[in-house]
Chains A and B, each alone.
Chain A
Amino acid sequence: MPAAVPRFLGVRSFVDGIDMQAPLAVRARGISKTFADVVALDAVDLDVTEGEVHGLVGPNGAGKTTLLGLLLGLAVADSGTLQILGTRVGRALAVPDGVAGFVDGPGLYPTLTARQNLSALTRLRGQGVAAREVTGALEQVGLGAVADDALRGFSLGMRQRLGLAAALLTRPRLLVLDEPANGLDPAGKNHVHGVIGALAESGTAVVMSSHRMDDLAALCTEVTLLATGRVVFTGTLSKLALESGEVDHKVVTTDRAAAARVAHGIRGLRVLDGEEPPRSRGQSELLVRGGLEAMDELVVRLVAAGLGVRELAPVVSPLESAFLALTGSSAGTSAPDDSEESR
């Protein structure tokens, strides 16, 4: 008689403040998916523990949407194994109960009202949610006043919030979200962050993609960075920041020319501007590139030279720098964006 299969396969250790012994909501090993001659995912591994908010990030065509689609049961991997909430996902286009979310927008029906959309969804899930729960969910996401309006008049942000309400009504144990803050104003974004955080605290695993590093930094405990279908990084945000390597910094001093001379003398530091800064920047700004140690040295020397240091700041955040470094992208051309193709 074969040994009983463990309910969840929590096998990792306690790393960077994350309880790696917690049960795994998602366990993917060697997942590959090909569309015609395009490799969307290539031997991808992914672990997401319960109560964790896991970010997926990558440039266009990296395979984020495909991976989210696999988690939502929209596609079947060509090879590899995928376990969701302890259940191995086979060839059928379906995932276990307790999985909710959306990719490429919440995909609700424009001819139906907000209430009809949510009620139908709960009935399809066989949940028998009471009408007052639907009303409560709509009010919670700020859509109570338009509950009986057809969706065709809703803005993108309103649809996003309705999509989140739909996911919440299913009481998910794994929530998969594609750009959940897309189209939301700052207040709406904060609200969505609060909801996601509350879900994670209650034990729900959240996998979300976002092109906004500030969203990821605010919510995620771990991120996975994809490029051309492969995982190029997975770990905590603090670990990702260390991958940033040389970062471009803006230095504002009392004497730009003197500061440039000081910077030229520091090993591992490059001055990116010529004699004159571009018109788009202030006349006292200097753009340099180097690691954190070189930046420390620069500050010390500028102060020693009697120059006032008014500002020293990275041009892009360390997370974005890490993204650019790991994906081989340049800052001007390929920050992760919100218009990713469906693959």
Chain B
Amino acid sequence: MTATALAAAPQPASDPAAPPRSAPLYETYRFELLKILSLWRIRLLLLACLLGPGVLVAVMGNQSSLPADTVFGRWMGATGWAGSLVVLDAACSYGLPLLTSLVAGDVFAAEDRTGTWRHLVMAVRSPRRIFVAKALASTTVIFLTVLLLAVSSAVGGLAGIGNHPLVGLDGSVIEPAQATRSVLLAWLSVLAPTAAFAALGLLGSVVLGRSPMGLLVPALVASVMALAQLLPLPVAVRLALPTQGLVAWRGLFTDPPQTGPALLGLGVSLLWAATATVTAYRLFLRRDFTDLSYDGSGRRALAAAAPLCGILAVSCLLVGVATPAKGTGIDRPKLEASVATSFAHLYRLQTAELHRTDVTESQLAATAACDKGGNRVEDGGPGADWRCVVSWHLPGASAVGTAIYQLDVTADGRYVADGDGPKEVNGSFTVRTPRGDAPNPLWQIDGLVDLLDPTPKG
């Protein structure tokens, strides 16, 4: 084909009165996806998400030393599902916000760097569609990485360790079929907060343009919120942050499941996602694409911060009004109930390991008496100074068994109860079974207090 031929090729008939046609949304989305996937850093990220978790879980699950300080870490050698949840916990701590920074935090800024805004606006002829396509494409890639993390960790765990029952965060045994459903639900539940951070990434990219700060917005916001989660903030503030959605999945592994925090986390995350996306959209439409030297950095920061502060205030108010929990959400009665329940479940597990006669939780009638920091400290809130004495009954025996635990309770309701004796119950990390030494399930207990659960009466 010659230049003349190209120039003289039949021209599409157009009606002068017809409004200009924008590019189809699907084609614009496809183009944005192509651009994101053509970046080497994204390709490497996807490859790492595909291979990394699976290998890690398979290798770690077969080590003698397990990451007992992470949620479900101590059970990695017992079932493949625990490995997937360890990966999920790590992803929620820092992985997902960082991932959204790499993808969504750069999706608008990349056009500023390459000087391609004009080309894109001319080709698509609709800034609205450009925004929608970019948001959809970046969210697609982010969700794809979450999917790869989930599949890789589950496959690695099942292949390396096996499809065995999982011990929940209240000591209850979750059968493999139920564990499959719960793990899948847990991964699905983090999509909403991930979308919220992706929206913050879009907002940062629109507001800060070429500035590297734009790329870091989701990671920085997540870090600040994670720091806030460490503080004994009122439960209304804690639950009003999108980071709540990244820890609420833990409640799915209790019996009954703690669905309140999970549903609230879902709602709050979607609210944040919608507010950040709409703010980014409105700011993006105001942009002047003829001036390449102006990327909008700085000037729009205030316009972006105001709606987010507003949504934080509204979320706090709604959560405060709509939920029964007050203060930090952690108090003595809730903790006592949680520790006693977990102990009873795990006692049965220990009994089974030792091939003793099975007992039921109701037969054990375990209770706990907890105290925080002695008489001078109020018995409520997070802290590493909780001490609980667990009592239980054995059928046919008149004596009451007791065991002591030192608790480290974090502000998100999670706690680790460290056995402090007697030695034959919880003082050693192994128990002697007919087949040799095995991990002692009562040595350390991972538990979770439902922050939204009203304090038990009586």
Contacts and interface: CB of A to CB of B under 8 A. Distances in A.
Interface stretch (B16-24, B91-99, B210-218, B346-354): B16-24
A73 B23 CA distance: 14
Nearest to A178: B118
Interface in B351-385: none
Contacts of A105: 115
Contacts of A75: 288-290
Given A85-B14, A111-B39, A342 B291 contact: yes
B18 to A, nearest CB: 8
Given A121-B123, A342-B293, A7 B115 contact: no
Contacts of A124: 23-24, 27-28, 31, 123-124
Interface string B1-13: 1111011111110
Interface stretch (A193-201, A210-218, A251-259): A193-201
A102 interface: yes
Interface string B102-122: 000000000000111111111
A37 B28 CA distance: 35
B17 to A, nearest CB: 7
Q: Which of B4, B124, B127 has the most CB atoms of chain A within a 10 A radius of its CB?
A: B4
A97 B121 contact: no
A133 B1 contact: yes
A204 B9 CA distance: 11
Listed residue (B31, B34, B39, B122) with the most chain A CB atoms within 10 angstroms of its CB = B122
B292 interface: yes
B38 interface: yes
Given A107-B115, A110-B114, A126 B16 contact: no
Contacts of A73: 20, 121-122, 125
Given A140-B6, A169-B6, A171-B11, A35 B291 contact: yes
A72 B118 contact: yes
B126 interface: yes
Given A94-B125, A97-B20, A127 B114 contact: no
Contacts of B35: 109, 111-112
**SS class, residues of chain A in contact with chain B:** loop
A102 B1 CA distance: 23
B300 interface: no
Given A35-B291, A111-B39, A126-B27, A96 B16 contact: yes
Contacts of A103: 118, 290
Residue from the set B7, B18, B34, B127 with the largest chain A CB neighbour count within 10 Å: B7
A75 B122 CA distance: 10
A116 B10 CA distance: 23
Interface string B22-61: 1110011011001100110000000000000000000000
Given A65-B290, A102-B118, A198-B7, A126 B23 contact: yes
Contact of A104 (B3, B18, B115): B115
B23 A97 contact: no
Nearest to B32: A120
Contacts of B127: 93
A168 B290 CA distance: 22
User: How large, as a class, is the contact surface on chain A?
Assistant: 35 or more
B121 A93 contact: yes
Interface string A66-106: 10010011110000000001110000111111101111111
A140 B115 contact: no
A137 interface: yes
A230 interface: no
Nearest to A200: B7
Interface in A155-204: 168-169, 171, 173, 191, 194-195, 198-199, 201-202, 204
A205 interface: no
A235 to B, nearest CB: 26
A310 to B, nearest CB: 42
Given A96-B14, A140-B3, 17 more contacts: A69-B289, A73-B122, A74-B289, A75-B290, A93-B126, A100-B122, A101-B122, A110-B114, A112-B34, A124-B27, A124-B31, A124-B124, A133-B1, A168-B7, A171-B12, A198-B7, A341-B293
28 contacts: A8-B16, A69-B289, A69-B290, A72-B122, A75-B290, A87-B17, A87-B20, A94-B20, A94-B125, A94-B126, A95-B20, A98-B11, A103-B118, A104-B115, A104-B292, A107-B119, A110-B114, A111-B39, A123-B23, A123-B31, A124-B24, A140-B1, A140-B2, A140-B3, A195-B7, A198-B3, A202-B7, A342-B293
Interface of A: 5, 7-8, 35, 65-66, 69, 72-75, 85-87, 92-98, 100-112, 116, 120-121, 123-127, 133, 136-137, 139-140, 150, 168-169, 171, 173, 191, 194-195, 198-199, 201-202, 204, 341-343
